[in-house]
Structure 1
Amino acid sequence: MHYSERLLIHIKQAERITQAAKEAAVREAGITAAQQAALAVLSENPGINAAELARKLSVTPQTMNSLLGRLEARGLVARTPHPIHGTLIEIRLTERGEEVFAQADALVAKLDARLAEGLTPDEVAAVRDLLARIVRNAGTPGR
């Protein structure tokens, strides 16, 4: 098999190009793709802690703390002690964070729709299924 025929090449190219498109899209909302991803997880998991957020985004705790520091400095997230377990710090979107996330999410949804142009709903479902199977296969050690 030629190098250009390898599945890994096509996956990497798709990831690189779609991430660049996402970066450009969310820049309109004044944030980065990494910040948008964090805001998305926070919007679905209010009160999550930094360690769990880092796990969900597959980044190191150090990277997450840096990202959260930038979001907090901009007033997009707030970190507060858990009401019962005071040593745990909960992270939530602020009102401004919700506004910025809503704007960025609309831009990402528009990009998502653009990526699916010319595909039928069944084809979109098939792409999702195929990518999920590839992810599962990649995560299976020793194969």
Structure 2
Amino acid sequence: MPAPGVPEEQHLDTERLARPDIRALLAVLSTASQLQMRGQADLRRMGSPLKIHEFDVLVAVVAHGPLRPSDITRKASLAPNPTTVSSIVSRLEKRGLVTRQSHPDFGGGVLVEATERGSEMLDQLFPEVERKVISWFRGHFSDEELIAIAEILERI
């Protein structure tokens, strides 16, 4: 039995895919996937030891840190799940790019903070990623459109 408001027939047809909600969601997912693939390829070409999700977590920690792992899950643009964040933080910690310290307000909780080495690595990598990936994205929109996109998506 279908949920209330969901049509009995569940086939993905042209009409259903043209619905504004589905069309917008698929466009967001497709664009995010393209950005992720471009970012990963550029990091590889640059000889970076970081994978795109590690880069993303390091950006979140440098920009907003120190952060609890649950906050990293919300701040990282690629939105990894909590288990993935934990393993990414472990890899970054082994490389000396972040540290975990006891949270002063939450017993048993931790804060993840970028080390000087992590900040320096990001300082080296970010300009090239910005030049390639972000400029590719930016090239599709005017400043006004970028502001509108950001404002719309930040509501989610």
TM-score normalised by L of structure 2:
0.68
Structure 1: tracts of 5 or more residues without a match: none
Q: Deviations over 1:72-121 (max 9, x none)?
A: 11111111234676633222111110111122322332121222226432
1:50 is aligned to 2:50: no
1:128 is aligned to 2:140: no
Structure 2: tracts of 5 or more residues without a match: 1-12
Distance 1:54 1:15, change over 3 A: closer
State the 1:66 CA deviation. Answer: 0.8
Distance 2:38 2:56 in 1: 14
Distance 1:82 1:12 in 2: 34
TM-score normalised by L of structure 1:
0.73
Distance 2:91 2:119 in 1: 16
Distance 1:14 1:45 in 2: 24
Partner of 2:27: 10
Distance 2:38 2:150 in 1: 19
Distance 1:64 1:118 in 2: 31
Secondary structure at 2:99 match in 1: strand
Q: Say how many residue pairs are matched.
A: 134
Partner of 2:135: 113
Q: What letter is aligned with 2:137?
A: L
- Whose RCO is larger (CA < 8 A, sep 6+)? 1
Partner of 1:93: 114
Q: Percent identity?
A: 23
State the 1:47 CA deviation. Answer: 2.5
